[in-house]
Chains A and B, each alone.
Chain A
Amino acid sequence: MLQCIFLLSDSGEVMLEKQLTGHRVDRSICAWFWDQSLSQGDSFKSLPVIASPTHYLFQIVRDGITFLACSQVEMPPLMAIEFLCRVADVLSDYLGGVNEDLIKDNFIIVYELLDEMIDNGFPLTTEPSILREMIAPPNLVSKMLSVVTGNASNVSDTLPSGAGSCVPWRPTDPKYSSNEVYVDLVEEMDAIVNRDGELVKCEIYGEVQMNSQLTGFPDLTLSFANPSILEDMRFHPCVRFRPWESHQVLSFVPPDGEFKLMSYRVKKLKNTPVYVKPQITSDLGTCRVSVLVGIRSDPGKAIESITLSFQLPHCVSSADLSSNHGTVTILSNKTCTWTIGRIPKDKTPCLSGTLALETGLERLHVFPTFKLGFKIMGIALSGLRIEKLDLQTLPPRLYKGFRAQTRAGEFDVRL
């Protein structure tokens, strides 16, 4: 049971305080917390669950904003962390991001949201589509909504019907003049290439994201052509478990608007679309660097926004790096980013140059890890294909759309 939630800015200022139970938590706990995280150095490194002299503190950090929850009693820690994550998600959904200004400008909305999300320290509803019915999103978002839905008032005065409906994620009876449903496969490739150039780990983490604007109470069935490749599935609460167990078919009544239908993982992939071949040789206080990036297996669609970034080791005093394609930037914190974009047909992009080591060092002993970024539109690299999307009762003027994209997730190339 949470007793209090604080929102702290990136300078440790308390932006918002929401007491949840009769046992008030003094604000001074935030000062204690902030001293603590300053003494830890980087606040990103401090533990998500810590014990203060008076309370247990749960914290998550999103875009510099710290969401801090206090409790004096035993509770499942993951529940607190999950809830804070949901709060952060809902806020960024409502405000179009979270940062100090947005929260300060919209603190009334934040209070209203927290009021509906948690009562007496126990989470109530965190489903965005239901919250949106109770509390109208502010500013631009609500303006857009009012244009889209034709509802002029930005103060919602209807009661959350979903709170009382037997399908807790769906409002009882939404009406649309045109019925649309979009399915997006969004995949991320996580890979580790070790020092010997071997692919140690290569996995796809994928999400099926949907945007459904359907009238009434639609019952959908989504099936894949090759569901057997999927592992570690997690489903939105709306997905019925039995049909999936027996025929690998997703049968569900969708929430209204955007939501994540399922997430999955495809493991043991054998190939990456892009290769990175780094080489560093060091001698007499200077290192020669050369990095080649090229296409290993053509996915059939253009590979875009290729970037390669790495942290120069602390012992490097200066760096002189250039490339035959794209741009190289080195920030003051020794982060080097090479923006390649698309790979040209006629040459292989190459980054080369020298690093000067601090005086007294002959050779480099700390090696950087290269992080690769890329994006491929129109293809799911896992090979997952959607077979069909059926509606039990067809509404008039139905439009179905499918898209796919893959981008690099945690793609580490070690040296």
Chain B
Amino acid sequence: MAPPAASQRYPSPSQPSGKSEVSDLKTQLRQLAGSRAPGVDDSKRDLYKKVISYMTIGIDVSSVFGEMVMCSATSDIVLKKMCYLYVGNYAKGNPDLSLLTINFLQRDCKDEDPMIRGLALRSLCSLRVPNLVEYLVGPLGSGLKDNNSYVRTIAVTGVLKLYHISPSTCIDADFPPTLKSLMLHDSDAQVVANCLSALQEIWSLEASHSEEACREKESLLSKPVIYYFLNRIKDFNEWAQCLILELAVKYVPSDSNDIFDIMNLLEDRLQHANGAVVLATVKVFLQLTLSMTDVHQQVYERIKSPLLTLVSSGSPEQSYAILSHLHLLVVRAPFIFAADYKHFYCQYNEPSYVKKLKLEMLTAVANESNTYEIVTELCEYAANVDIAIARESIRAVGKIALQQYDVNAIVDRLLQFLEMEKDYVTAETLVLVKDLLRKYPQWSHDCISVVGSISSKNIQEPKGKAALIWMLGEYAQDMSDAPYILENLIENWEEEHSAEVRLHLLTAAMKCFFKRAPETQKALGIALAAGVADFHQDVHDRALFYYRVLQYDVHVAERVVSPPKQAVSVFADTQSSEIKDRIFDEFNSLSVIYQKPSYMFTDKEHRGPFEFSDELGNISITPEASSDIVPAQQYEANDKDLLLGIDEKDDNKGLSSNNGSAYSAPSLENSSNITSQMQELAISGPATSATTPQSSFGFDDLLGLGLSTAPAPTPTPPLLKLNPRAALDPGAFQQKWRQLPLSLTQECSVNPQGIAALTVPQSLIRHMQSHSIHCIASGGQSPNFKFFFFAQKESEPSNYLAECIINTSSAKAQIKVKADEQSTSQAFTTVFETALSKFGMP
């Protein structure tokens, strides 16, 4: 598809062609305004249609506002609708002219046709001009009492719109109590549903500063109200049912009978044709039974078939949303879908985002009973025309192999992939074989014989090449020509573009050297020389390090580079179970789709369901803005490197254990430590920014420079300036929290206003953010709240991490601080305490 012409995408109001036509329209409308001639409605219709089509394309036609209003005296309903549409679109920008429309809208609100009454009321409320709110109260009041339900429905939503324009007007006019009585007594289901949605929104926003609203909000969750809705849920339309089900999720049942009553009332909702209703019901079931383990299991059985139905009968977009949720469920209870794996077989025509999720499902449901069938199916995808899916399915086979006990057959399959001689298949397979060998060293003989026969020339992809090289180094004693293959590769050092591959070559040459020194010596020499001369910093550093270690003592070098390996029993899971639980709590929300709890993607701010940020909505996005989402992708890329990361850690461990005792000469100790520091730097490539300050500090210390980089503790702590836009991803946070030593523990009291404001964790989080201290995770319920915060220095990427436990009953806060720069942690603690002490103050 061709990229659209710029004029279409960025319509500018000052388009010359638009301008003359708009003024044409203006004169024509003016002529028609007062006319009562027959047929005038038809010509008006044409003109209105033109105006609105300009509006639709994006041409600014606000200049004909006056004329449009003048022409609006008509009885034709289509004309009226067009006029309402136009007025609704431009009123906000023309508050003065909008006054003109009030008159005719108010008149229409008293029309005898209920449809016109309703439409006029809707438009009146959609004007959203703050200085016109006084005109809204009257029509809304009578609209709520209208004898036609259509008008009442619109009036209820109108009240909510009024609240958003001017909360005080809405509250002063006593609308919320009116809505409440409508909600409980109106005969029309849609009116009731709209009342519920409006009241939920108004009361949750009011709750922060009005105790009454808080009570009212709670009362929506009381048993009689919940049952009032659930008993008549069938009378509501499907969307209103979703609303009620969302309300029911928040209800805390009094006993198990209560739980069963609700489930009985809702059971048939699982069969509803609307997927949104089904999923909302599933959430109610799951949340209700969380505390009852055996019933919870039965719920899984019960919801299984409705969900599977939704996967296969809806549009691909619907399947995608459902599959994301199924994936969440299957991770919690893999056995439930074990027999239904065929539902996740990919059909040829499905879009790849659905296929990808289905592959993940197949991986997750695989167990002893179905592995054979699933792997057979996955192997068929490996020959698929869609290369991305072929890759994914090979990876899926590998994942299944890593989580199974009986991998015999799977290893054979994987080795068969190698015989397909497709570049990408071979590359993916090599990576998997490498991981398998690390977990099941007993398979090495079978694999090595096949891997040894692969010509390295056929592999272009860095990942695959690196895996092959790793195996050559690790199993050099079993592969007769390993040194010669490595030698070949090293001779082509210049042509190797990927630094990752060159790093692996260096290590593999070292390992090979320890096992078969005579054959490798020459190649190792060339590799080290080429490595030291390499322009890539990491490669250069590693080569230099190897060179010096070898120079020092070959046996030490062997212990450092090639220590005996232990089989990896479990590969690190990328998501902690805590995070998975958080996502599960947020079932039926975006969190599930993104596979992240909401605090990780809701823009650092924990947004309630009804809060918008206006600045964000109004700024226009330029293409550069898309760089905002890059960090997340990087994070993912890092995860993929996880396996390699572990590999490197082995090397590291050997290194540190040698540090203390083996050396005696002070000069040597220094230099070896320096290189080890450098090595660390090289290894922790992705997290360089985080470790730099720390290690350079150690570096200086060793050189006897003492506190040169660390500024002397500043006498005036508030001088510490924090970066208001600090960013740290949760993974890095966790890592740092583990690594850094505890630098300070402090207990302080929280003022009573603060305690009062701390009904939910979000309030404190927002407060701290205004002091440039950001929350990364929070939890707990009254009286105990727990928060993890982080902050960054304004000028340099130096992080402060803090854990804060607040007990609201004792009004005490316990703070634990860890910092990259130990010396300034006191300053940070002071800032933190000052910020905390202001919490709750007006």
Do A108 and B82 touch across chains, with their CB atoms under 8 A apart?
yes
Do B320 and A48 touch across chains, with their CB atoms under 8 A apart?
yes
Can you list, as one digit per residue, whether each of A100-114 has a CB less than 8 Å from chain B (1) or not (0)? 000010011001100
A73: CB under 8 A from chain B? yes
Q: Which residues of B have CB within 8 Å of A314? A: 385
Pick the residue among A81, A107, A203 that contacts B321 (CB under 8 A).
A81
- Cα separation A412 to B377 with both chains bound (whole Å): 13
Do A371 and B3 touch across chains, with their CB atoms under 8 A apart?
no
Residue of A with least CB distance to B379? A195
Do B239 and A123 touch across chains, with their CB atoms under 8 A apart?
yes
Given A122-B239, A168-B189, CB of A27 within 8 Å of CB of B58: yes
B216: CB under 8 A from chain A? no
B349: CB under 8 A from chain A? yes
Q: Which residues of B have CB within 8 Å of A234? A: 271-273, 306, 309-310, 313
User: What is the CB-to-nearest-CB distance from A352 to chain B, in angstroms, rounded to a whole number?
Assistant: 21
Can you list, as one digit per residue, whether each of B349-391 has a CB less than 8 Å from chain A (1) or not (0)? 1111100000000000000000000001100100111000000
- Cα separation A311 to B238 with both chains bound (whole Å): 41
Contact segment of B4-12, B458-466, B819-827: B4-12
Can you list, as one digit per residue, whether each of B72-86 has a CB less than 8 Å from chain A (1) or not (0)? 000011100110010
Q: Which residues of A have CB within 8 Å of B272? A: 234-235, 237
B150: CB under 8 A from chain A? yes
Do A13 and B4 touch across chains, with their CB atoms under 8 A apart?
yes
| CB-CB contacts below 8 Å: A109-164 with B | 111-112, 115, 119-120, 122-127, 134, 155, 157-160, 163-164
- Cα separation A104 to B53 with both chains bound (whole Å): 8
B796: CB under 8 A from chain A? no
Q: Which residues of B have CB within 8 Å of A283? A: none
B135: CB under 8 A from chain A? no
- Cα separation A368 to B4 with both chains bound (whole Å): 34
| CB-CB contacts below 8 Å: A2-38 with B | 3, 10-17, 19, 21-32, 34-36, 38
Do B56 and A45 touch across chains, with their CB atoms under 8 A apart?
no
B781: CB under 8 A from chain A? no
B841: CB under 8 A from chain A? no
Do A28 and B617 touch across chains, with their CB atoms under 8 A apart?
no
Contact segment of A50-58, A318-326, A384-392, A396-404: A50-58
Contact segment of B254-262, B552-560, B607-615, B656-664: B607-615
B507: CB under 8 A from chain A? no
Do B78 and A155 touch across chains, with their CB atoms under 8 A apart?
yes
The CB with the most chain B CB atoms within 10 A, among A35, A108, A155, A412, is that of: A108
Given A31-B9, A119-B122, A414-B380, CB of A12 within 8 Å of CB of B320: no
Given A27-B58, A164-B188, CB of A236 within 8 Å of CB of B150: no
- Cα separation A47 to B593 with both chains bound (whole Å): 10
Can you list, as one digit per residue, whether each of B613-629 has a CB less than 8 Å from chain A (1) or not (0)? 11011111111011011
A190: CB under 8 A from chain B? yes
B215: CB under 8 A from chain A? no
User: What is the CB-to-nearest-CB distance from B605 to chain A, in angstroms, rounded to a whole number?
Assistant: 11
A219: CB under 8 A from chain B? no
Do A412 and B4 touch across chains, with their CB atoms under 8 A apart?
no
Residue of B with least CB distance to A198? B376
A-B residue pair count with CB separations less than 8 angstroms:
309
B312: CB under 8 A from chain A? yes
Do B239 and A79 touch across chains, with their CB atoms under 8 A apart?
yes
A358: CB under 8 A from chain B? no
- Cα separation A54 to B77 with both chains bound (whole Å): 37
- Cα separation A312 to B594 with both chains bound (whole Å): 35
B131: CB under 8 A from chain A? no
Q: Which residues of A have CB within 8 Å of B616? A: 54, 72
User: What is the CB-to-nearest-CB distance from A151 to chain B, in angstroms, rounded to a whole number?
Assistant: 16
Do A371 and B349 touch across chains, with their CB atoms under 8 A apart?
yes
- Cα separation A397 to B3 with both chains bound (whole Å): 58
Do A26 and B150 touch across chains, with their CB atoms under 8 A apart?
no
Q: Which residues of B have CB within 8 Å of A43? A: 1
Can you list, as one digit per residue, whether each of B176-204 has a CB less than 8 Å from chain A (1) or not (0)? 00000000000011100010010000000
A49: CB under 8 A from chain B? yes
Given A22-B161, A232-B308, A235-B273, CB of A53 within 8 Å of CB of B317: no
Do B150 and A74 touch across chains, with their CB atoms under 8 A apart?
no
Chain A interface, number of residues (Cβ within 8 angstroms): 110
Do A200 and B345 touch across chains, with their CB atoms under 8 A apart?
yes
User: What is the CB-to-nearest-CB distance from B592 to chain A, in angstroms, rounded to a whole number?
Assistant: 8
A63: CB under 8 A from chain B? no
Residue of B with least CB distance to A89? B315
- Cα separation A55 to B10 with both chains bound (whole Å): 19
B160: CB under 8 A from chain A? yes
- Cα separation A267 to B629 with both chains bound (whole Å): 43
Do A53 and B188 touch across chains, with their CB atoms under 8 A apart?
no
Do B188 and A77 touch across chains, with their CB atoms under 8 A apart?
no
A241: CB under 8 A from chain B? yes
Do B383 and A366 touch across chains, with their CB atoms under 8 A apart?
yes
Do B385 and A366 touch across chains, with their CB atoms under 8 A apart?
yes
| CB-CB contacts below 8 Å: A193-207 with B | 194-195, 200-201, 203, 205
Residue of B with least CB distance to A28? B620
B276: CB under 8 A from chain A? yes
Residue of B with least CB distance to A261? B273
Pick the residue among A55, A157, A365, A412 that contacts B77 (CB under 8 A).
A157
Pick the residue among A24, A26, A53, A263 that contacts B313 (CB under 8 A).
A263
Residue of A with least CB distance to B242? A79
Pick the residue among A38, A79, A201, A410 that contacts B348 (CB under 8 A).
A410
Given A12-B3, A34-B4, A78-B588, CB of A85 within 8 Å of CB of B315: yes
Q: Which residues of B have CB within 8 Å of A27? A: 58
B422: CB under 8 A from chain A? yes
Given A82-B274, A127-B237, A365-B420, CB of A73 within 8 Å of CB of B611: yes
A407: CB under 8 A from chain B? no
Given A11-B2, A159-B114, CB of A78 within 8 Å of CB of B620: no
Pick the residue among A35, A168, A313 that contacts B235 (CB under 8 A).
A168
Do A157 and B318 touch across chains, with their CB atoms under 8 A apart?
no
Do A265 and B385 touch across chains, with their CB atoms under 8 A apart?
no
Can you list, as one digit per residue, whether each of A216-229 has a CB less than 8 Å from chain B (1) or not (0)? 00000000000000
A284: CB under 8 A from chain B? no
Can you list, as one digit per residue, whether each of B214-256 has a CB less than 8 Å from chain A (1) or not (0)? 0000000000000000000011111100110010000000000
- Cα separation A45 to B2 with both chains bound (whole Å): 17
Do A29 and B242 touch across chains, with their CB atoms under 8 A apart?
no
Do A365 and B276 touch across chains, with their CB atoms under 8 A apart?
no
User: What is the CB-to-nearest-CB distance from B155 to chain A, in angstroms, rounded to a whole number?
Assistant: 11
Residue of B with least CB distance to A122? B197
Do B9 and A49 touch across chains, with their CB atoms under 8 A apart?
no
Can you list, as one digit per residue, whether each of B593-605 has a CB less than 8 Å from chain A (1) or not (0)? 1100010011000
User: What is the CB-to-nearest-CB distance from B356 to chain A, in angstroms, rounded to a whole number?
Assistant: 10
Pick the residue among A30, A59, A205 that contacts B312 (CB under 8 A).
A205
The 8 closest A-B pairs by CB, nearest first: A241-B268, A232-B309, A28-B620, A123-B239, A79-B276, A48-B317, A410-B347, A164-B149
Interface residues of B (CB under 8 A from A): 1-4, 8-10, 49, 52-53, 56-58, 76-78, 81-82, 85, 89, 92, 113-115, 122, 128, 148-150, 153-154, 157, 160-161, 164-165, 188-190, 194, 197, 234-239, 242-243, 246, 267-268, 271-276, 279-280, 305-306, 308-310, 312-318, 320-322, 324-325, 342, 345, 347-353, 376-377, 380, 383-385, 420-422, 425, 588-590, 592-594, 598, 601-602, 607-614, 616-623, 625-626, 628-629
Interface residues of A (CB under 8 A from B): 1, 3, 10-17, 19, 21-32, 34-36, 38, 43-49, 51-56, 59-60, 72-79, 81-85, 104, 107-108, 111-112, 115, 119-120, 122-127, 134, 155, 157-160, 163-164, 166, 168, 190, 192, 194-195, 200-201, 203, 205, 231-237, 241, 260, 263, 265, 311, 313-314, 365-369, 371, 410, 412, 414
Q: A51-B601, A194-B377 are in contact. List 8 more A-B contacts (CB 8 A).
A: A31-B621, A32-B623, A32-B625, A78-B325, A85-B317, A120-B160, A233-B309, A241-B267
Return 6 A-B CB contacts under 8 Å, by A number: A11-B4, A53-B629, A73-B612, A164-B148, A200-B377, A232-B305
